[in-house]
Amino acid sequence: MKRRDFIQKTVGASVASGVLVSTVGFTEVFGEEKQADGPVDMVAVKGGGPDGMFEKGIEAMGGMSRFVKPGDVVVVKPNIGWDTPPERAADTNPLLVGKIVEHCKKAGAKEVLVFDNTCDEWTRCYKNSGIEEAVKSAGGKMVSGKDKKMYKPVAINKGKSLKETTVHELVMSADVFINVPVLKNHGGATMSLSMKNLMGIVWNRGWWHKHDLHQCIADFATYRKPDLNVIDGYNVMKRNGPRGVSVADVVNMKYQILSTDMVAADTAATKIFGVDTAKVKHIELAQELGVGTMDLKSLNIKRITV
């Protein structure tokens, strides 16, 4: 038995017996198709807790200092769209958001600001998602995403359907922008992933729904590429998304994807979720616009099982 197989089997066995918890600190990098010397494009982590997986993931990405320089203003954009508790997985897991804020602060960030233009009433979303508390205790600051004054018009030069929109000024002025979507089913956009999550930094998204949603999502992805995308696949809403009806819609999949490429991250996420990538039309549309690549084989990917 090869060493790799042995580890995989052992890990598998401990998962089955329920022994494995996020604190198990062993990581194994394996299965690279392409071992590049350059920076890591994507890290896929599985088997741990939302915060533990991020610890391993960001380390493999080269540490938060790769993205955040001392004195930077960082904007973290989780999905906080719904007034639901963390176990419903309609919002990004608070442990993950808290951990990201913590790492940003450790890397010397001057300020870490967190917001979302929520669907449900925002103060309730912030509170009941657990994100407000996690962010505050990690030293970050919650900002309202419902203040219309803060949204400024921008031109989407590469946009096909979306030529202009209004974007939250914090995203425009921030030194670092970290996008933290939660992996879930979505009735309208098929899946809610990195690019879909950016609908929470614009004001007039109703217009998008009216003018070819998938094209608008892809168009907007050309505006400001997040410096880092972290897809939370710890608890995954498999149906009735994006809000979900109850915890019965949620499966504990324990995945996380970190990437600088939204198209790649979203492609990987569809595979984890088990949906045909082609069905999530905005992914291919975004590739056509040069946002990123769907060809995972061309990327330097690290896979980690915790």
Partner 1 sequence: MQKYLKKIRVLVAVLFFAAVIVSFSDVKGNLPSSIQNSALYLQFVPSALKFFTPGTVLSVGFIVVILMTFLGGRIYCSTICPLGIWQDIVIFFRRKFGPKQRLRFKKALNFLRYSILVLTILFIAFNSVLLLNLLDPYAIFGRMATHLYQPVLLFVNDLLYHIPFLGLHNMEYSPFSLIGFIFAAGMLFLVTYMAGTGGRLYCNSVCPVGTFLGWLSKYSFFKIKIAQSSCTQCGKCQAVCKANCIDIKNMEVDETRCISCYDCMPVCEVSSIGYNKHKMKPVQVAKPGTKPLKIKKGLERRLFITAIAGLAASKALALPKKAAEKITNEKEKKDPFYDRGPVAPPGVGSIRHLIDRCVACHLCVSACPTKVLQPSFLDYGLSGIDVPQMDYDAYFCNFDCHKCGEVCPTGAIIELPQEEKHLTQLGQVYLQIEYCIVESEGTACGSCSEHCPTQAVKMVPYKNTGLTAPEINPDICIGCGACEYACPATDPHKAIFVVANKEHKLAENPKEEKLEYEETDEFPF
Check residue 31 for interaction with partner 1 (CB under 8 A): yes
Q: Does 172 bind partner 1 (CB under 8 A)?
A: no
- Given the complex with partner 1, which of 219 and 249 has the nearer CB atom? 249
- The nearest distance, CB 299 to partner 1, in angstroms, is 10
Pick the closer one to partner 1 by CB: 44 or 182.
44
- Tell me which stretch binds partner 1 (CB under 8 A): 52-60, 171-179, 209-217, 220-228: 209-217
Q: Do 80 and 118 contact (CB within 8 A), yes or no?
A: yes
- Establish if 239 lies at the interface with partner 1 (CB under 8 A): yes
As a whole number of angstroms, the distance between CA 244 and CA 247 comes to: 8
* Complex with partner 1: residue 69 or 186, whichever CB lies closer: 186
Q: Does 91 bind partner 1 (CB under 8 A)?
A: no
Choices 6-14, 55-63, 69-77, 167-175; region in contact with partner 1 by CB under 8 A: 6-14
Question: Site for partner 1 (CB under 8 A): which residue of 61, 218, 258, 268?
Answer: 268
- Residue whose C-alpha is closest to residue 126's, from 91, 151, 174, 100: 91
- Least separation in angstroms between CB 288 and partner 1: 17
Q: Which is nearer to partner 1, 58 or 191 (CB)?
A: 191
- Retrieve residue 279's tokens: 């069905």
**Closer CB to partner 1, 64 or 262, in the complex:** 262
The window from 60-68, 93-101, 171-179, 208-216 that contacts partner 1 (CB under 8 A) reads 208-216
Select the residue interacting with partner 1 from 143, 154, 172, 289 (CB under 8 A).
143
Q: Which stretch binds partner 1 (CB under 8 A): 65-73, 224-232, 269-277, 284-292?
A: 269-277
Q: How far apart are CA 258 and CA 232, in angstroms?
A: 9
Nearer to partner 1, 161 or 179 (CB): 161
- The residue ranges that bind partner 1 (CB under 8 A) are 8-9, 11-12, 15, 31, 44, 46, 83-84, 119-121, 123-124, 128, 142-144, 146-148, 150, 186-190, 206-207, 209-215, 238-243, 245-246, 248-254, 267-268, 271-272, 274, 281, 296, 301, 303, 305
